[in-house]
Every structure is written in C-alpha cells, then in structure tokens.
C-alpha cells in the first residue's frame, strides 16, 4: 500500500467541484433498464450505450471518475479504442465495481449480504493492469418489519471493510457504498435511525481492518422517507437530516461523501445535494458530491432508445444532468437550470 498514492487518487476524484458517474450496472440491471425503454438486451446494445456515455463531449467538465462494470471495462468503441483509454484521455479516472452482488443472507429472511471477497486480490490486480484506480462495493440494507437486524448490518460492514483493505493493499481507492434502500413506506426517521446504525458499524469495521480513512470515499444513501411513505419531507428537511446523520457518524479524516441517487428523480437528487451544500457550506469536514447512476443517465437512456440517430441528443442530456449536479455540488443549482 502506498499511502500517498491513495490520498492523491481520492483527492483527484473529489477535485474541482466535480463528482463521479456510476455506469456499473450489472448485465441484469442494465438489461432491466433496456427492457423498460424497449432497447434490445444484447451485449452489442450495452456496448453501444456505454460508448455513448464515455464519448460524451465535455463529460469531464463535471465528472472526475467513472465506475465501470466487468463487461464494460473490457469493451471498446466501434473504432477499437478501449473505454478505459477514452476515459483516461478525457481526464476521467476509470474505476470498477468489484462486488458480485447482494445475495440472500442465510437465516435472515428479507435481508442481503454482498458477496465477492473470494479471489478479490487477484481480480484487483487484473483491473489495476487494465487502468482502474478506484473500485466500488455496494451493500444493501432494507428497512422493514424488524429489519435491518444487527446480524445483517455487521455482516455487510465486515465485508465492506475487508473489501476496502484489499483495495488499499493494491493502491486502489475503495468507494464504500452502504445503501439503505428507499423502497417501502418507512418514515424519514426510520431511515435516519437505520443509516446512523449502519454507518457506526461500517466505520468500526473499517477501523478494525486498518483501512486508511484518508484514502477512501463513502457512497451512502441520503436520509429520505421511503418512496411510498405518505409523508414526504421538504428538500431542506432532507438536507438537514442527511448532514446531521453524517456529522454524527463519519470521521473528519474521510475526504469525501459521494451520494448515490437510489431511485430519486434527477431533479430531487440535484436539489437535495444543492441544499446540503448551501445550508452547511462552511461547516463540513468533508466534500459532499454525487456518484449517481439513474439520476444522471435516465434522460439520456430515454432519448437514445437504441437508435444511432439519437446519440447526439442523448449525449447532450447526459452532459446537462452531469452539469446540473456539478452546480449542486457547488451550491449553485436552481430549478430554472433544468431547462436545457
Ligand atoms: C445504488 O446503485 C448505485 C448508484 O446508482 P443510483 O444513483 O442509480 O442509485 C449504482 O452504482 C449501482 O451500484 C450499480 O448500478 C450496480 O447495481 P447492480 O444492482 O447492477 O449491481
């Protein structure tokens, strides 16, 4: 592990008021989104869509790093240029999702644990040779009747910490993603309690596994009411609940928090990030930025629909959404900017 290299990469991922682009949907997830949009679920369609993303003109104006999936990191543009080279030439750092997905946690009905530690050291080495400088692992926590349980939280926290340690050993910055899901009717207070509990356990596990906090990035959910909750708090209330929770749980040595969007609309994901940066501007020990997938990609996917003729318009939509989130990262976003 080279301490300074990890610190430099983490700082580069958070620099210049930019954020991260998650384009690491597994084949299953990508196919589900394609099916919804009427796009054929083929390897070529997935390649063409990812080519559209990585060749978006000016993407690096708002994006410092892009998280790829195993299939994507091996793919090339139509003219034969590896996606990793396209990104690197544009000034975007390539990263890679290394977890193998959330699986049912034995003896804990309704709960998941993320797998993928076996063989991770070898896989990391191969990804580094391909140009990846950071990685991502997502743990999934569900709020429901009697859940999340301590058993589920501890299992996921331990796996996240073991993954992070293996990354740092390989000079790869770990993006640590404990996601408390938005699905359900639960209240914002239930999400706050679950998120606080999860983060306490995650940082305890990171400490136990000797993970260097200065060389990591946290990718959490915002503190939100469930998507089907009858009470939906205001943008400012969400911003306050989210930042208060992180001030209680995330050590100041962590350089940045890059939120997932988790099923929020693009507009809300931008507005809520903006409100946090406006309301807490000078009181935060860490950078607050974005690592969105759907909240950046969705309009572009809807425009593209698998048609070559729609590529330029889809790229403009992608550029626009990324730029809006950069504005939110600076506290400069407002709803009027939604108009292209
Ligand atoms: C929570 O999902 C992550 C962020 O995406 P959103 O901003 O859309 O919530 C995302 O990076 C996710 O981990 C990947 O899309 C991979 O998901 P799957 O389910 O395909 O492993």
H/E stretch holding 287? strand 287-292
Residue in the block written with tokens 């299939």: 71
Alpha carbon nearest to ligand 1 atom 21, residue: 26
For residue 100, the CA-to-ligand 1 centroid distance in Å is 13
| CATH number assigned to the domain comprising residue 123 | 3.20.20.70
Domain hosting 25: range is 3-338
**Can you give the pLDDT at residue 77?**
98
Closest ligand 1 atom, CA of 179? 1
What confidence tier does 249 reach under pLDDT thresholds 50, 70, 90?
very high
Integer Rg of the chain from CA: 19
Half-sphere exposure of 115 toward its Cβ, with a 13 Å CA cutoff? 9
* Tens-digit pLDDT profile for residues 210-228: 999 999 999 999 999 999 9
Please provide residue 150's backbone torsions phi and psi, each rounded to the nearest 5 degrees.
-60, -40
For residue 24, the CA-to-ligand 1 centroid distance in Å is 7
For residue 321, the CA-to-ligand 1 centroid distance in Å is 17
What confidence tier does 299 reach under pLDDT thresholds 50, 70, 90?
very high
Integer Cα distance of 238 and 222 in angstroms: 8
**Can you give the pLDDT at residue 232?**
98
pLDDT value at 305 more than 90 = yes
Longest dimension (CA), the chain: 53
Integer Cα distance of 279 and 239 in angstroms: 8
| Number of domains making up the chain | 1
Query: What does the mean pLDDT of the chain come to?
Result: 98
Alpha carbon nearest to ligand 1 atom 11, residue: 22
List, in order, residues 6 or more apart from 189 with CB less than 8 Å away.
none
What confidence tier does 339 reach under pLDDT thresholds 50, 70, 90?
confident
| Burial class, 216, CB count within 10 angstroms (exposed 0-12 / middle 13-18 / buried 19+) | buried
Half-sphere exposure of 38 toward its Cβ, with a 13 Å CA cutoff? 5
**Ligand 1 pocket mutation, candidates 53, 112, 293, criterion most atoms within 8 A of CB:** 293
For residue 294, the CA-to-ligand 1 centroid distance in Å is 8
**pLDDT > 90: what percent of the chain?**
99
Strand pairing of 112-114 and 102-104? antiparallel
Integer Cα distance of 250 and 285 in angstroms: 9
pLDDT value at 340 more than 80 = no
Closest ligand 1 atom, CA of 26? 20
**Can you give the pLDDT at residue 1?**
86
Whole-model pTM above 0.95? yes
**Can you give the pLDDT at residue 282?**
86
Q: Is 29 in the pocket of ligand 1 (CB under 6 A)?
A: yes
pLDDT value at 207 more than 80 = yes
């Amino acid at each position: 592990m080279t301490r300074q290299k990890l610190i430099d990469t983490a700082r580069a991922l958070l620099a210049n008021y930019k954020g991260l682009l998650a384009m690491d949907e597994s084949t299953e997830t990508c196919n589900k989104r394609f099916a919804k949009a009427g796009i054929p679920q083929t390897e070529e369609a997935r390649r063409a869509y990812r080519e559209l993303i990585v060749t978006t003109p000016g993407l690096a104006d708002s994006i410092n790093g892009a998280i790829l999936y195993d299939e994507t990191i091996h793919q090339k543009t139509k003219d034969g240029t590896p996606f990793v080279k396209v990104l690197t030439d544009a000034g975007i750092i390539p990263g890679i999702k290394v977890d193998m997905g959330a699986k049912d946690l034995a003896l804990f009905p309704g709960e998941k644990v993320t797998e993928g530690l076996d063989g991770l050291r070898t896989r990391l080495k191969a990804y580094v040779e391909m140009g990846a400088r950071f990685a991502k692992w997502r743990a999934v926590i569900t709020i429901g009747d009697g859940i999340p349980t301590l058993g589920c939280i501890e299992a996921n926290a331990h796996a996240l910490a073991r993954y992070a340690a293996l990354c740092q050993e390989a000079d790869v910055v770990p993006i640590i993603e404990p996601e408390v899901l938005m699905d359900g009717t639960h209240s914002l207070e239930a999400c706050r309690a679950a998120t606080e509990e999860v983060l306490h356990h995650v940082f305890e596990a990171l400490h136990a596994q000797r993970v260097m906090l200065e060389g990591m990035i946290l990718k959490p959910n915002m503190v939100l009411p469930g998507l089907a909750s009858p009470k939906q708090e205001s943008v400012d209330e969400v911003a306050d609940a989210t930042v208060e929770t992180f001030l209680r749980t995330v050590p100041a040595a962590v350089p940045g928090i890059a939120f997932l969007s988790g099923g929020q609309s693009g507009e809300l994901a931008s507005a809520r990030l903006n409100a946090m940066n406006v309301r807490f501007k000078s009181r935060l020990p860490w950078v607050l930025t974005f690592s969105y997938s759907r909240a950046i990609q969705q309009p572009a996917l809807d425009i593209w629909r698998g048609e070559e003729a729609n590529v330029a318009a889809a790229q403009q939509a992608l550029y626009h959404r990324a730029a809006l989130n950069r504005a939110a990262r600076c506290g400069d976003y407002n709803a009027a900017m939604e108009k292209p």
